[in-house]
């Protein structure tokens, strides 16, 4: 198994900088998810690691070996595509064994049988891809990667062609497979639920740049920017404009419908504040938001109310029934520790004393 180091990796297509100076370490055995919206450069980054797209700058190291200019087959990496890319005229067994036959390996039958057992494909080995469901095809594509015993697996949105139920089931299978193989996975998706549930660490990309790298919990609990805050969580953190003011010696964020305590620090700065939907409660307190309910969504066990506060919006999530209706005026409160604070100019997270100011800007 292998570790991957990416140093200042860049790829331009004419005027478009698809990947812009990304540096990232993927540890041996890690399940790293590259997460971001369409066009953020995640596929280009993965294809550069695979050797399918040459970088215009930077380096890629596999276990400290510089592979930046190496051909794909010299990289000891296996890629799984969204489209599966199976050979339609070959059986499942032959599809899985293809990479070994291409390398003239003698132990093809034994290896195919082993991989089929790992993926539960034993009964399907004689079928052609057209006689398989989407989920089964996806497993065959995975089998073809697995059979090579690569140093790392590169997966590009492998679940996006599956329906919602199958996607959830296959997500759990992939997590289980990763645990059993203890192999290195780099996994591209725009689906934050996939990232949260499967990743050991998430790398969030925006416009070709890395916004934040951290465990799912770190990225959720302390989003490094308004972009990450708005991308992770369903619904995500709603952001409200406010100004930092020193009131009776303590710092508060004050704006239209917003009055939140922040502890120590200096005032006079424009910020964006937000609270996750599950951390807001109906009621009044030292931390208070006031607004108007615009929409209430029923999720079955829970409800989500979308509430207009000043020029922004927040969401409140809680057990059914919330007893709110569109048009209601409502006061919301929260634990002050749950307030997220960002610079209105840079969008970067502002850390309040006494928290350690790591990648964030101190107030």
Residues that bind ligand ATP (CB under 6 A): 13, 16, 18, 36, 38-44, 190
Closer to ligand ATP at the Cβ: 206 or 343?
206
CA 313 to chain centre: 23
Q: How many CB atoms lie within 10 A of CB 302?
A: 15
DSSP run (H or E) holding 155? strand 152-156
Which two three-digit tokens encode residue 292?
Answer: 């108007």
Least distance between ligand ATP and beta carbon 208 (Å) = 7
**Cα–Cα dist 342/141, whole Å:** 42
**Cα–Cα dist 279/14, whole Å:** 45
**Cα–Cα dist 215/35, whole Å:** 12
Least distance between ligand ATP and beta carbon 106 (Å) = 38
Under 8 Å between Cβ of 120 and 139: yes
Least distance between ligand ATP and beta carbon 55 (Å) = 12
Four-CA torsion 93, 96, 100, 106, nearest 10 degrees: -30
DSSP assignment string, 243-278: EEEEETTEEEEEETTEEEEEESS---EEEEEE--GG
Closer to ligand ATP at the Cβ: 228 or 305?
228
Least distance between ligand ATP and beta carbon 314 (Å) = 28
Closer to ligand ATP at the Cβ: 41 or 214?
41
Least distance between ligand ATP and beta carbon 34 (Å) = 8
Least distance between ligand ATP and beta carbon 159 (Å) = 13
Closer to ligand ATP at the Cβ: 156 or 303?
156
């Amino acid at each position: 198994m292998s570790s991957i180091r990416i140093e200042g990796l860049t790829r331009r297509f004419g005027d478009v900088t698809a990947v812009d100076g990304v540096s990232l370490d993927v540890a041996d055995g890690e399940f790293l998810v590259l997460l971001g919206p369409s066009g953020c450069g995640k596929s280009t980054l993965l294809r550069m690691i695979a050797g399918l797209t040459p970088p215009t700058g930077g380096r890629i190291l596999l276990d400290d070996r510089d592979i930046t200019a190496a051909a794909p087959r010299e990289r000891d990496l296996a890629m799984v595509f969204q489209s599966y890319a199976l050979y339609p005229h070959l059986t499942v067994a032959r599809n899985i064994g293809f990479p070994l036959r291409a390398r003239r390996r003698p132990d093809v039958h034994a290896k195919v049988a082993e991989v089929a057992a790992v993926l539960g494909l034993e009964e399907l080995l004689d079928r052609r891809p057209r006689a398989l469901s989407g989920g089964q095809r996806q497993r065959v594509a995975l089998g073809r990667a697995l059979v090579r015993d690569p140093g790392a697996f590169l997966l590009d949105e492998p679940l996006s062609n599956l329906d919602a139920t199958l996607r959830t089931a296959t997500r759990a299978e992939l997590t289980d497979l990763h645990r059993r193989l203890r192999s290195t996975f780099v996994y591209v998706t725009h689906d934050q639920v996939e990232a949260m549930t499967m990743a050991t660490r998430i790398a969030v990309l925006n416009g070709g740049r890395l916004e934040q790298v951290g465990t799912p919990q770190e990225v959720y609990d302390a989003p490094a920017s308004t972009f990450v805050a708005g991308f992770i969580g369903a619904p995500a953190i709603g952001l409200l404009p406010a100004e930092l003011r020193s009131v009776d010696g303590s710092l508060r964020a004050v704006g239209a419908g917003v009055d939140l305590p922040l502890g120590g620090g200096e005032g006079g700065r424009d910020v964006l504040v937000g609270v996750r939907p599950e951390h807001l409660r109906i009621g009044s307190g030292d931390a208070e938001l006031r607004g108007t309910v615009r929409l209430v969504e029923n999720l079955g066990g829970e409800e989500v109310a979308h509430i207009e506060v000043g020029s922004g919006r927040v969401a409140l999530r809680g057990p059914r029934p919330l007893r709110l209706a569109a048009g209601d005026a409502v006061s919301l409160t929260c634990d002050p520790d749950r307030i997220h604070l960002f610079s209105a100019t840079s969008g970067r997270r502002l850390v309040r004393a006494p928290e350690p100011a790591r990648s964030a800007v101190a107030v």
